[in-house]
Amino acid sequence: MDYQQKQWKEKAADYKMYAGVLVALSVFLYIGTLLPITPEKKPYLIGVIMILLTGSFFFYQKAIKYIRLLREFEQ
């Protein structure tokens, strides 16, 4: 495995990890919306959750891109 393939593999693993962390954080914050908090803060919390899920989706898509590059290179 040459250097570029190794880099792609590491990047794919890193991006998957980032996506998992963001999903876990958004789930933790979503559970926080079930707790009784002031109604003024809930829309901000939902907004933060949506931003985290969007970031997670972005990182997961980048991981898929590098996985596809690896598969194409192996064939």
Domain holding 18, by residue range, is 3-74
Using CA atoms, how far apart are residues 42 and 71, in angstroms rounded to an integer? 43
* Domain count along the chain: 1
Neighbours of 42 (CB within 10 A): 12
pLDDT tens-digit series, residues 4-56 = 889 999 999 999 999 999 999 999 999 888 887 777 778 888 999 999 999 99
Specify the pTM. 0.83
